[in-house]
Structure 1
Amino acid sequence: MITYCQRDVSRGLYRAFKVLHLKHLTRVSVRMSTSDTAVGLHVIPTRCYFDETVQVIVRGLLPKQSVKLVAEAKDDKGMIFQSSAVHKASEHGEVDLNRSPSLGGTYIGAEPMGLFWSLRPLTPHNKFTWWDASKPVLVDVKVVSHENPGHVLAKETHQRHFMKEGIQRVVVTDGKIRGTLFIPPGPGPFPGVVDLYTLGGGPSEPRASLLANKGFVVLALAFYRYKDLPKKVDKLDLEYFEEGIRFLQKQPKVKGSGVGVISISKSGDLALSMASFLTGIKAVVTVNGCCACTVFPLHYKGTVTPILPADPDKVILTEQGLLDISKAMDDPAANENLASVIPVERAHDCNFMFVASEDDMNWDSVGFAELAAQRLRDSGKENFEIVRYPKAGHFVDVPYMPFYPSGIHAAVGKVVAFGGEAKTNAHAQVDLWGRVQEFFRKHLDTDYAQHKAKL
């Protein structure tokens, strides 16, 4: 009886071991054929600030395995943006975006942040819009099989924040002005900057908040189409922007030596006008702005600066079916247009940075920058610098902001080309961001300027 039971148990254990062994072999076989259980996706760090870089690494692939990395984000308007890159793993089954070149997708070559700046809207001609800087942008990154795009091997969600801990975000409804104020932590005082964005009039919270992270009190000032401001305007009043300057200067944490203004596109001529007609402005950055008044006439204390005319007959239809409006503006240097040109030589104790993209298809940013600089030279002033970016387009924004090559122009009402090449534009954004901070510190922060002088 005992012998029989031992033989029966032995047979049962053998059968059970055989089943377990077969299951183990099957599991290993699946793992080796797809490698999905071994694949690890690492976005390091998992959260950072929008203007910071990350390291994207994929491990656990088969040697020389081809995979596609896909990134996806949704903006505040609900628009979905996607990017992709095809990579071949190393001999060790690894893809590191710092070294591994993209062989196809929305960008080509070794670009550590390519998945972020090459994000494209699924609905064409949309700009990545983010209204509330207190919220992070969530970017879903996944690794998929190159042969079977529906097979996800690994996935991770990365958070890109705008505001550092301790930054105050204050919605401004003081008097007539509307916008958002960003105040760094600490006793201060800090240099103050007014941030003006382009047509649309709302405040640019991403740029303003990221600048506040660097130690500036920043007022992102709206000028129409925002909250209770007019939805449509036929003129702009410089008194409104003067009120914004005075509001910023009154903030307890703002240094009293003068403030700066940063602008882009249409707001460029507003920034130049503020420096020319108002007091207390020591540094102005214009990114692809115009040296003459555009779109809306500018009123100030009974005087009117007329707009620079545009000629619709000079608009060109591109092969892609987009409008090229780069030659539509009249020549500001022509005698009949001189009344529209901003008298920048009137600016008292102010320094200028004119940023101009050479492939700007919105208008002749390089020519406008040169005209403004020449006007200063003719008055015996050298208080300016010109920064030119070959192959960059109209929208040179904060680092890693998705490229915006075309969209509905607020003044034209139709889709136009804004120009630029995605990779070059992305590199220009990184370079300019450092220049802007250095420029404002040099001209607004006396302590910093003295420290640099000693070095």
Structure 2
Amino acid sequence: MERSTGKRAGAAVCALAALLGSAACSAEREEPFGGRAVIEVDRPVALVDEKVRIRVTGLAPGQEITVSAETGSLHGDWRSRAVFRADGRGVVDLARAEPLRGTYGGADGMGLLWSMKAERKGVGSYRTEPPHQRPGLDVRLTVTGEGAELAERTLTRVQMAEGVRHRELTADEDGVAGTLYLPPEGAPKAAPALVIGGSEGGESMRDVAALLASRGHPALSVCYFGCEGRPKELARIGLEYFAQAAGLLARQHAADPGRLLVIGASRGSEPAQMLAQYHPGLVEDAVVYASSNQVGDAVSVDHLHAWTVDGEPYTEEDVPLDRVRGRVLGIVGDEDGVWSSEYRSEAITEEEGNELLVYPRAGHFVAGHPYLPEQRTTYPVEGGGEIDTGGTRAGNARAKADSWPRVLRLLRN
């Protein structure tokens, strides 16, 4: 049914006033009006990698509104905004409507989530507590118009589902440092995933491991340097350490040991490919983000080689992939500013069955799942200047949104 306008309502009021013998009739009623604005969300609580449909209803046709999103992090709040004009039914459907202006452009139903920016200056990366400490991330949505708040609603983005178990591992007690995430008790056996981060050290991809466990896959976020009991620098890291981590993961009750997948990002893509190549009985498939088939040097002033095998420096210039039991899936941006990951990953496709996904306008930050605030693409460096990691935040967001379902399919199949 067609929505009434203020003009029609005004005419009706004037007619009633005339019948009652009153001359009062305000010109303000010539303005269109809507009903009560409502933010509709199909899944207000959903896994962090799941799309949600956001619509604002109850507006006047053509009404201009601002839809904003806000969430917290370890370094303060992150916010995004987009200005829209309601359609003829008084609706703004974020999946279809193009913002007039805002923190993202073009119709994108999840644009408000990935385009959030830090309120504090100098904060480039969105970081929260580990998933087992903060299982859900609350995002507050608000709708404003003409200076007034018209509606608000909170989404909960789940990064660790209820029932998922975790155990922190130490090099001294377990031989491996990291965090093990396991699906809820009673879950069917599934392909496990070993997750290896890059030259930042520590456990930068712990949220990926927790999310995979939430989807039924035992996962281990392994720390190979920059944590207690491990080297301080990326230098002379033994391949046997990663094999030990993979073996520990494969022995978990919920793991299907013959289907283990290793995920490596940036410098972590090197040991991921090495593990698939030299331990095919342990590892089936590999997913490598911002990858390089060429082996880099140590990130150290005292050592030349990054990796060792049986205690000896690994001196191969390229990682051969002819012994990989399953598939290698490379995911890169065509504007990678750290290294030319597209060029340095071409050898992946020389073996049948492997695949290299190259995303336009994406840079080095293509790893992991989508729909979290995207990192800045430029960072200040000590001594002045900046490092440009390449691509755009929008390009990185699109790369993650397209590649993540492919990673999940590889795990399932």
TM-score (norm 2): 0.81
Instruction: Please say if 1:129 is aligned against 2:127.
Output: yes
* Cα gap change, 1:154 to 1:294, in 2 (>3 Å): same
User: Per-residue deviation at 1:400?
Assistant: 1.1
Which residue does the alignment assign to 1:9?
A: none
Counterpart secondary structure, 1:340:
coil
Distance in 1, Cα, partners of 2:80 & 2:86: 19
| Residue type of the alignment partner of 1:182 | Y
| Mapped partners of 2:390, 2:199: distance in 1 | 17
TM-score normalised by structure 1 residue count: 0.74
- Taking a change above 3 Å as real, the CA distance of residues 410 and 289 of structure 1, as seen in their structure-2 partners, is farther
Distance 1:348 1:108 in 2: 41
Percent identity, aligned pairs only, is 27
Q: 1:301 to 1:30 in 2, by over 3 A?
A: farther
Structure-1 residue corresponding to 2:284 = 282
Q: 1:84 to 1:228 in 2, by over 3 A?
A: farther
Alignment check: 8 A CA contact 1:164 1:213 kept = yes
Report the Cα distance in structure 2 between the residues aligned to 1:245 and 1:409, rounded to whole angstroms. 36
Retained in 1: the 8 A contact 2:34–2:61? no
Change (3 A) 1:270 1:153: same
1:87 aligns with 2:84: yes
Specify the alignment match of 1:349 in structure 2.
325
Match of 1:390?
360
Distance 1:363 1:92 in 2: 49
- In 2, are the aligned partners of 1:405 and 1:417 still within 8 Å (CA)? no
Equivalent runs, 1:6-21 vs 2, <5 Å: none
Q: What is the distance in 1 between the residues matched to 2:228 and 2:27?
A: 61
Deviation digits for residues 318-359 of structure 1 (CA, Å, limit 9, x no counterpart): xxxxxxxxxxxxxxxxxxxxx3322333x3424211222112
What is the 5 A alignment of 1:131-146?
A: 131-134=129-132, 135=134, 136-145=136-145
Q: Which range moved further: 80-89 or 194-203?
A: 194-203
What's the counterpart of residue 182 of structure 1? 181
Structure 1 CA distance, aligned partners of 2:250 and 2:130? 24
* CA positional deviation for 1:269: 0.8
For residues 386-405 of structure 1, the C-alpha deviation after alignment (integer angstroms, 9 at most, x for no partner) is 22212222212312132224
Residues 137 and 91 (structure 1), Cα distance of their counterparts in 2 relative to 1, 3 Å cut: same
Separation in 2 of the partners of 1:409 and 1:38? Answer: 46
Q: Check conservation: 1:268, 1:286, Cα contact below 8 A.
A: yes
Tell me whether 1:363 sits opposite 2:339 in the alignment: yes
Tell me the CA shift for residue 143 of structure 1. Answer: 1.3
- Equivalent pair of 1:144/1:152 in contact (CA under 8 Å): yes
Question: What's 1:45 paired with?
Answer: 43
Question: Secondary structure of 1:240's partner?
Answer: helix
Moved more, 210-219 or 46-55: 210-219
Distance of 2:29 and 2:250 partners within structure 1? 64
Q: Counterpart of 2:138 in structure 1: which amino acid?
A: L
Partners of 1:410 and 1:175 in 2: CA distance: 36
- Asked if 1:208 corresponds to 2:209, the answer is yes
Match of 1:58 in 2: 56
Consecutive unaligned residues in structure 1, runs of 5 or more: 1-24, 307-338, 443-455
1:385-441 CA-to-partner distances (Å, cap 9, x unmatched) read 222212222212312132224244899997422222333432321221111122233
Q: Contact 1:190/1:255 (CA < 8 Å) preserved in 2?
A: yes
How far apart are residue 230 of structure 1 and its match?
4.2
The Cα offsets for residues 251-310 of structure 1, whole Å up to 9 and x where unpaired, read as 12212324110111111112112223334111011111111222522122132025xxxx
1:305 aligns with 2:314: yes
Q: Once the 2 structures are TM-superposed, how far is the Cα of residue 228 of structure 1 from its aligned partner?
A: 4.9
**Structure 2 counterparts to residues 236-385 of structure 1, below 5 A:** 236-278=237-279, 279-296=281-298, 297-305=306-314, 339-345=316-322, 347-373=323-349, 377=350, 381-385=351-355
Contact kept in structure 2, 1:406 and 1:415, CA below 8 Å = no
Amino acid at match of 2:296: T
Q: Report the CA distance shift for 1:36/1:439 in structure 2 as closer, same or farther (over 3 A).
A: same
What is the SS of the residue equivalent to 1:281?
coil
Structure of higher CA gyration radius: 1
Structure 1 distance, partners of 2:387, 2:38, is 42
Judge conservation of contact 1:73–1:82 (CA < 8 Å) in 2.
yes
Q: Which amino acid aligns with 1:127?
A: S
Give the distance between the partners of 1:219 and 1:411, measured in 2 at CA: 33
Unaligned residue ranges in structure 2 (runs of 5+): 1-23, 299-305
* C-alpha distance in 1 between matches for 2:411 and 2:308: 28
Kept after mapping to 2: 8 A contact 1:125/1:415: no
Q: Mark the CA change 1:406 to 1:427 in structure 2 (over 3 Å): closer, same or farther.
A: closer
Residue equivalent to 1:103:
100
Q: What secondary structure, in the 3-state scheme, does the structure 2 residue paired with 1:280 have?
A: coil
1:261–1:271 contact (8 Å) kept in structure 2: yes
CA distance in 1, matches of 2:396, 2:100: 20
